[in-house]
Amino acid sequence: MKFTKSINQAEVKKEWIVVDATDKIFGRIITEVASKLRGKHKPTFTPNVDCGDNVIIINASKAKFTGAKMESKNYYTHSGYFGSTKTHKMADMLENNPEKLYKLATRGMLPKTKLGAKILKNLKVYAGENHPHTAQVQG
């Protein structure tokens, strides 16, 4: 009988993947990135281990958005105090802080556990083309 081999954290081999967001659709980028972060593209995928890769997104401010999301989609923040709800439009977030926009969208596609928070730390987002991780990325 063959059994499925579950790997542990010591056996995981992480790679660095660079994704260029120029002229790509935002949602398609996020789904691809979430899958790579989780490690579902690897044959050694184990659901309870962080076996995904490190992902770098460059040119984050140059992604395309379909429909009327830029005008109509809102993101909400709340500190826990009464009346502290704040609304941020997607267009403003893309202009002011695209890194936060990508992290929020990716976080929604990851597990809502401690493992999901740990996996999200493997995502690096940069609005421009330059990033400080050139030593890790081969090619």
Give first-to-last CA distance, the chain, whole Å.
41
Q: Are strands 123-125 and 16-20 parallel, antiparallel or unpaired?
A: unpaired
CA distances from 43 to 11, 59, 61, 62, 85 (A): 13, 30, 33, 32, 43
Domains in the chain and their CATH numbers? 13-125 (3.90.1180.10)
Higher pLDDT among residues 112 and 135, named by residue: 112
Per-residue model confidence as pLDDT tens digits over 58-81 = 999 999 999 999 999 999 999 999
Per-residue model confidence as pLDDT tens digits over 40-56 = 999 989 999 999 999 99
Per-residue 3-state assignment (H helix, E strand, C coil) for 71-86: HHCEEEECCCCCCCCE
CA-angle at 31, arms to 27 and 37, nearest 5°: 140
